[in-house]
């Protein structure tokens, strides 16, 4: 899926719809949000998009998408997990989600924004685990801003400063995707170290 061709064909409305869907509607997990945000910023530097409009629009769409995902998980999730136990549909998994989001919810909501697929399911799982709603809203706004505004502005700045960067769009998007995993890997390593240290104590 070529993000440049997709955006040129669908315009601002399609961009906002994809950002919203990928942020919290389960059916949108396969959509290329990262590359579209970056490409939208790049195209804005060439005058194809209105930068303030897509910045505000993508931020609102990202936050709204996560809110919908959270409310879906909170209202529908418990009924689904009350079905006869299986590896997925079990009360034990609900309890694990609750414990996890009590301990790591804020950073998870922010970091998940930068991981394809994970960002779609995180707000739903946060809702199922009944993460404190006010806390979720705060970190949803923070994560939505860093992701939607940050990636779009990165595309805009590079598009304005680096001549011909659109010829290397795919490689640039792949690099951005790889870099976005660094804080996630760092957090996973810290958790693993903490668990190892904890289990080693008498």
Q: How many helices (H) and strands (E) does the chain have?
A: 8, 0
In degrees, rounded to 5, the angle at the alpha carbon of residue 149 between the alpha carbons of residues 132 and 40 is 135
- Confidence category of residue 80, pLDDT binned at 50, 70, 90: low
- Structural domain count of the chain: 1
pLDDT value, residue 183: 64
Q: How far is CA 25 from CA 17, 131, 192, in A?
A: 11, 18, 31
- Quick one: pLDDT at residue 167? 73
Which of 108-117, 140-149, 158-167, 190-199 holds the top average pLDDT?
140-149
Using only the alpha carbons of the chain, give its radius of gyration.
Answer: 18
Question: What is the domain extent for residue 97?
Answer: 3-200
Residue pair 65/122 in contact by the 8 Å Cβ criterion: no
Task: Specify the pLDDT at position 181.
Answer: 66
Q: Do residues 63 and 117 lie in contact, with contact meaning Cβ atoms separated by under 8 Å?
A: no
3 state SS of 82: coil
Q: Which of 75-79, 91-95, 114-118, 159-163 has the highest mean predicted lDDT (pLDDT)? A: 159-163
The Cα–Cα gap between 166 and 95 comes to 47
Q: Lowest-pLDDT range, 20-24, 44-48, 95-99, 136-140?
A: 95-99
Give the mean model confidence (pLDDT) for residues 44-58. Answer: 95
Give pLDDT, residue 111: 83
Helices marked H in 25-88 = 33-45, 51-81
């Amino acid at each position: 899926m070529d993000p440049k061709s997709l955006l040129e064909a669908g315009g601002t409305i399609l961009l906002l719809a994809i950002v919203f869907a990928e942020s919290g509607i389960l059916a949108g997990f396969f959509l290329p949000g990262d590359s579209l945000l970056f490409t939208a910023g790049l195209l804005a530097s060439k005058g194809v998009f209105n930068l303030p409009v897509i910045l505000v629009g993508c931020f609102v769409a990202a936050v709204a998408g996560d809110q919908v995902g959270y409310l879906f998980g909170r209202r529908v999730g418990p009924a689904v997990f009350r079905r006869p136990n299986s590896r997925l549909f079990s009360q034990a998994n609900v309890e694990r989600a609750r414990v996890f989001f009590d301990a790591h919810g804020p950073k998870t909501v922010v970091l998940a924004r930068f991981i394809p697929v994970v960002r779609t399911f995180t707000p739903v799982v946060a809702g199922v685990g009944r993460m404190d709603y006010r806390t979720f809203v705060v970190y949803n706004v923070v994560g939505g801003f860093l992701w939607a505004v940050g990636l779009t502005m990165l595309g805009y700045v590079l598009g304005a400063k680096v001549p011909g960067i659109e010829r290397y769009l795919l490689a640039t998007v792949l690099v951005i995707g790889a870099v976005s995993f660094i804080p996630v890997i760092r957090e996973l390593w810290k958790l693993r170290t903490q668990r190892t240290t904890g289990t080693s104590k008498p």
